A and B are shown apart, each in its own frame.
Chain A
């Protein structure tokens, strides 16, 4: 069953690196929740407080390039971001996001057509609709979708091993 949701979007450019997502100086904070006010701060210091749970980020190509810091997808998840839609993702970030249960969607055509505050409707694995226009998207392999739906790799392993419901 394809899952469908509608969300408000925040638009970002190409090459959003993980130092932008969460700068090094805040990695020493005790919890990922403590880091959330500083997410994206080098680029848009006001953004973290504006993001509401359920919102979606729409970005250009190479989202998540740079450092392997797993706090980057974690902090995005902790802000309540429902999904990141980008032209493409850097590979370490891609694995880290899946492993933390953060939904990533590749859709190169969307970024140029939208701005902050627009609404998108996402039918996971099928399409994105925004302002009356529909964009086809690819389906994630089942094993990756299982990990995302379980909330991350560790939870998926435990579920698979019958350790939790």
Chain B
């Protein structure tokens, strides 16, 4: 019996010929990412060990992105703890450079790797053919000290993509549609593997958006084969693969789903669950107070370009705060050079530094009681963006931007023609 992509990567990390779903293996980890959400807890536990030790400091990547810049003396103290520890121990460290997963994709992730991240959206790394999975700070500590951990080999779900997304429809609409179809625990403990002719039509940015959100269906990881698109991206960033794996023809999948990209339409996830997905057309006219374009899901240059193209010659509604947050410093600079930031500012948007921002719901753009946000962030749980009595709709960069202009939920093709 052949193996899926997830099985091949685990077998490689465990140093065994083959693995089966349900097996538990001790694996050697390639990278360990942690951010300011929980690193201070890891450090506290580390100091309580009798023989504190880091297995391989070069496997660690620490990134301050959640409360960046710090918003209170408390977060300043926890970030100082992280910064000081990273410096003392020579841990690769980023601060203010962007959202952790975007930084990892730009600078660290390589196909074939097995990566733990102390953040649930670590599954994004599957866009480059790496097995990324989220863990808590205790699992992180164990891996940091030993270089290893244990994994239960997940069953895999196969998503066979065919066709091509229509104009105005995005990868964000695709993954929200899939989550809506399989449910918030539809892939719990499982790997989501994407393949098929349709995959070839998706850009790296699209692929990151798809893999990133798979944890919202409960997935342990998301995986795509590292094809020409992925390898071109990798070499453009000066990196080479660890290994390029292909799923075997006779690999076993718990279930296979056929997804025709040409049938996907713009959608929104309604409050308060990511799987409450409906066509955006069903929510037209819903009043919004704030719009957010950013996050590890949709803060890339492609998203900013799409938003700027819609905004050019238009204005953000007087009743809306539109926050635009590039996902990394590199993207920020690129947007600056391309003139996108000028377009945003002329239209009345607020351009923020690269960080998790509104998606983390604690340091920027927090919304109040009764307010409604439309967001490209990752979650719309009750209270996720602020007050428990507030509402979050999730949508693509295009739909968020169009809604910011209209002051209510709408799609780009429904906006009135530009003046002049």
Chain A residues close to B by CB (< 8 Å): 15, 17, 19-20, 23-25, 27-30, 41-43, 45, 61-62, 65-71, 73, 88, 90-92, 95-96, 99-100, 152-154, 157-158, 163
CA distance A100 to B141 in the complex (A): 13
Tell yes or no: B262 within 8 A of A by CB. no
Which A residues lie within 8 Å of B67 (CB)?
Answer: 28
A29 touching B74 by the CB < 8 A rule? Answer: yes
Which B residues lie within 8 Å of A154 (CB)?
Answer: 45, 48-49, 138, 141
Give chain B's interface residue range (CB within 8 Å of chain A).
35 or more
If A43-B388, A45-B388, A68-B134 are given as contacts, then 20 extra A-B residue pairs at C-beta distance below 8 Å, sorted by A number, are A15-B184, A19-B381, A19-B383, A20-B383, A27-B37, A28-B72, A28-B75, A42-B383, A66-B379, A67-B37, A68-B37, A69-B136, A70-B137, A90-B188, A91-B220, A92-B136, A96-B135, A99-B139, A154-B138, A163-B50
Q: Mark B37-74, 1 if CB is under 8 A from A, else 0.
A: 11001000100111000000000000000010000101
Tell yes or no: B273 within 8 A of A by CB. yes
CA distance A25 to B382 in the complex (A): 13
Nearest residue (CB) in B for A100 is B138
Least Cβ distance of A65 to chain B in Å?
Answer: 6
28 A-B pairs with CB atoms under 8 Å apart are: A20-B381, A20-B383, A24-B362, A25-B361, A25-B366, A28-B72, A28-B78, A42-B382, A65-B185, A66-B120, A66-B381, A67-B37, A67-B120, A68-B120, A68-B135, A71-B41, A90-B188, A90-B218, A91-B189, A91-B218, A91-B220, A92-B120, A92-B215, A95-B136, A99-B136, A99-B138, A100-B138, A158-B50
Task: Pick the 8 closest A-B CB pairs, nearest first.
Answer: A96-B136, A42-B388, A70-B136, A42-B383, A99-B138, A62-B185, A28-B74, A24-B362
CA distance A18 to B218 in the complex (A): 13
Which B residues lie within 8 Å of A19 (CB)?
Answer: 361, 379, 381-384
Least Cβ distance of A75 to chain B in Å?
Answer: 12
Tell yes or no: B324 within 8 A of A by CB. no
CA distance A61 to B218 in the complex (A): 11
Tell yes or no: B142 within 8 A of A by CB. yes
Which B residues lie within 8 Å of A15 (CB)?
Answer: 184-185, 273
Tell yes or no: B360 within 8 A of A by CB. yes
Least Cβ distance of B405 to chain A in Å?
Answer: 29
A43 touching B382 by the CB < 8 A rule? Answer: yes
Tell yes or no: B29 within 8 A of A by CB. no
Tell yes or no: B408 within 8 A of A by CB. no
Which A residues lie within 8 Å of B362 (CB)?
Answer: 24-25, 27-28
CA distance A157 to B379 in the complex (A): 35
